[in-house]
Amino acid sequence: MKISADDQSRAAFEYGLHILFDPLESDRDTAGETVGGHLRDSDADEVDIESVSKKARMLTLFALLHYGNISEQLFQVYYELCAPVKASEWMELFIGNSGNWNSYMFEDFLAELRKLSLVQDFARESDDSCHFSLHPLVSDCIKLRTDGQILQECILQVIMIVKNFLDTCYDGRGHFDLSLQAKQEVLLHMNACEENIREFLGSGNESQLGTGQLDCARERFASLYCSVGQYHKARDLYERVFENREKHLGPNHPSVLSSLAQLAVAFERQGKYETAEGMDRRVLAGREKMLGKEHPDTLTSVSNLAWTLESQGKYEAAEEMNRRALAGREKMLGKEHPDTLTSVSNLAWILERQGKYMAAEEMDRRALAGREKVLEKEHPDTLTSISNLAWVLQRQGEYKLAEKMDRQALAGREKVLGKEHPTTLMSVHNLGCSLLGRGKYKEAVEMNRRALQGWEKVLGNEHPHTLLSVDNFGAMFERQGKYEAAEEMYRRALAGREKVLGKEHPDTLTSAHNLAHALKRQASTRSVNNLDVVFEKYGKYGAVAQLQ
């Protein structure tokens, strides 16, 4: 009978697992064979049980990560952070005479495992670290062979390995110094960590891992989910961390307030503005009481509340809160601190929403100049300033310059955040608006369709961003004289905004006006009078709801 290549491969790696996980038995079975020799003590012809045990533990850690692309950096960073406090035994495999991590010893270990068919091809990449993969069957077999207590210890250690790696890349302000590809790889490892908990511990048994450590790890994982636009996953983890901390620490503990603040951000990003506002107000009250009104964390809460108020169309209150945050940050942190520049940028946006375009442009230019100075040119915050300045220029009719800046912001965001990130899609939408202003209808429709389809996919049909794109489609159809199509899109936007934002939100009133305008263009009086009555409320919002 002919043996398939898959059968041969499986036999090879099962043989390797036999050697690592049953060293005494394999010593009797394979004495004198080359493959067994890789695991023998150099001074004696017998298996070094202690060394084999360390290697088996290391292989188990590999198996608990995602098998596709595992980087040596994960383990090196963990060693450098943990060794001074508490070193794990497996670390001794890769520590040179100087006491530092030895990358070549790690590479030798991978070569040894490859000869045993336990890892697939590996290579030293541009970051000067070894990257390798496991076959999924190898990964599954290792987890099944590992003793329950050891597996539990390894599950927690892998979680902390991924968490510590992310800690070294996190700037404390929602961004990670990682390439898009690296983020995608770490996301796979994070998913593997959660799957390990579900598969090998089951619900209700997470306390076996130590809730404090697990909460810290999940908080960092949620930060990355938020950074890449996976807000639903971020919200799920933030909720679990918040509920657990509130249960054990009480409602006003600083860690509980921090978790609630992060949860509020996740709700805001999902368009759940009223819920986010309630959380923001609770956090602000708690921090004012515990930390004082000028503490940086308190000012962050002021800033977050301002943003949530802006999202609900409460522009005057939002401006007041943001000016408080800006003044406090200038005093406590300085005018060029990234948090201060965030307040400058946010204030510019609130001013733009009220039709104060010249004042908004001035603030946008200040934010951009500051961010280009203290951050990288492709930092997400810098790209936000480019995008915001383009938007306020567009609102003043400078479509050509706005288009140029929109393209710059879009190219940067596609590179840094990815093509489907919600923020990237905002640049797609904004570019579509600039193109529409220049009469480039075909390309404008193409951009808006991409934004709409992207937001529907990643945020849902009723998210405010999605409805913004729907309303913009109405404007594009109207510009082309396609009034019936425009009416259809305006009606969809209006219905969605009434449901999600409320009937008096400025964006809802904008849709009401746009629909009335489209109906009048069709010389139809049906429903126009009622819509005009609604539109009369625009006066209370000032210039933010100007006619297009």
- Name the pTM for this structure: 0.85
* Total count of residues recorded for the chain: 548
User: What are the C-alpha distances in Å from 506 to residues 140, 469, 490?
Assistant: 54, 16, 15
Q: What is the pLDDT of residue 38?
A: 46
* pLDDT digits 0-9 by tens, 110-128: 998 888 888 888 999 988 9
Q: Which residues pair with 40 in a beta bridge?
A: 47
User: What are the C-alpha distances in Å from 533 to residues 280, 302, 509, 528, 529?
Assistant: 34, 36, 11, 9, 6
Question: Does residue 204 carry a pLDDT above 90?
Answer: no
* pLDDT digits 0-9 by tens, 21-56: 554 444 444 443 443 444 444 444 444 566 778 888
User: Do 376-459 and 464-548 agree at the fold level?
Assistant: yes
DSSP 3-state of 146: coil
User: What are the C-alpha distances in Å from 156 to residues 3, 203, 212, 397, 475?
Assistant: 39, 16, 11, 56, 53
Q: Cβ atoms within 10 A of the Cβ of 524, count?
A: 12
Cα–Cα distance, 177 to 186 (Å, whole number): 12
Which stretch of DSSP H or E encloses residue 234?
helix 231-249
Region for residue 397 given its phi and psi (left: phi exceeds 0; alpha: psi -120 to 50; beta: otherwise): left
DSSP 3-state of 336: coil
Question: Does residue 541 carry a pLDDT above 60?
Answer: no
Q: Per residue in 281-304, is it b (16+ CB within 10 Å) or e — as a string? A: ebbbebbeeebeeeeebbbbbbbb
What are phi and psi for residue 81, nearest 5 degrees? -85, -35
464-548: CATH topology: 1.25.40
* pLDDT digits 0-9 by tens, 280-333: 999 999 999 999 999 999 999 999 999 999 999 999 999 999 999 999 999 999
Annotated domain spans of the chain: 1-146, 376-459, 464-548
Superfamily of domain 376-459: Tetratricopeptide repeat domain (1.25.40.10)
Cα–Cα distance, 62 to 79 (Å, whole number): 15
Angle, CA of 509, 514 and 516, to the nearest 5°: 95
Poorest-pLDDT segment among 112-116, 415-419, 507-511: 112-116
Angle, CA of 120, 124 and 129, to the nearest 5°: 110
In the structure, what pLDDT confidence band is assigned to residue 148 with cuts at 50, 70 and 90?
Answer: confident
Q: What is the pLDDT of residue 425?
A: 98
What are phi and psi for residue 335, nearest 5 degrees? -75, -20
